[in-house]
């Protein structure tokens, strides 16, 4: 691992969960890591409810843009994390890191919607991000 570890968060659309993880980790560790997010099928714009939830936690997604996976970044990242069950990523030759998966509870399955839903998802991702930062030694 380099002096500054590289982390890549992935979800399907790169509009919600992976962008939340990127923003939350950046808010937690600043420039101590090179942090990215991407989608297997980028949506083009970021989910406004996700951005609002992250803002309530003191993080910022205002400059986030939905984008696809850069194979070189996938190859060189020190940690690759897929958020959710729906995204599927095939490893590329020469990858440094195994592909991890974080499955976040979906509050809407219990009838929880709106800000409460988004904040529960955010809090789950943030707890995992905190653990990741500790594992990388950058907390």
Output 62-66 pairs: Cβ under 8 A, ≥24 positions apart.
64/19, 64/22, 64/23, 64/37, 66/13, 66/14, 66/15, 66/19, 66/39, 66/42
Joined tokens for residue 6: 């590289």
Q: Is the pLDDT of residue 2 over 70?
A: no
Helix (H) or strand (E) holding 78: none
Domain residue ranges of the chain, discontinuous segments joined by +: 6-136
Q: Is the pLDDT of residue 1 over 80?
A: no
Q: Is the pLDDT of residue 62 over 70?
A: yes
Q: Is the pLDDT of residue 61 over 90?
A: yes
- Assign 3-class secondary structure to 81-126: EEECCCCCCCCCCCCCCCEEEECCCCHHHHCCCHHHHHHHHHHHHH
Q: Is the pLDDT of residue 47 over 80?
A: yes
Give 81-109 pLDDT, tens digit per residue.
999 999 999 999 999 999 999 998 899 99
**pLDDT score of 3:** 83
- Record: fold of 6-136: Rossmann fold (3.40.50)
């Amino acid at each position: 691992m380099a002096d500054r570890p590289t982390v890549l968060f992935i979800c399907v659309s790169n509009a919600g969960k992976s962008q939340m993880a990127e923003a939350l980790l950046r808010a937690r560790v600043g420039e101590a890591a090179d942090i990215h997010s991407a989608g297997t099928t980028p949506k083009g714009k970021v989910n406004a409810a996700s951005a609002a939830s992250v803002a309530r936690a003191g993080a910022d997604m205002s400059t986030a843009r939905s984008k696809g996976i850069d194979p070189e970044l996938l190859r060189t990242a020190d940690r690759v994390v897929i958020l959710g069950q729906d995204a599927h990523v095939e490893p590329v030759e020469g990858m440094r890191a195994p592909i991890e998966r974080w499955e976040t509870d979906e509050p809407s399955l219990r009838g929880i919607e709106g800000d409460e839903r988004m904040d529960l998802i955010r809090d789950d991702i943030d707890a995992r991000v905190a653990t990741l930062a500790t594992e990388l030694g950058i907390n």
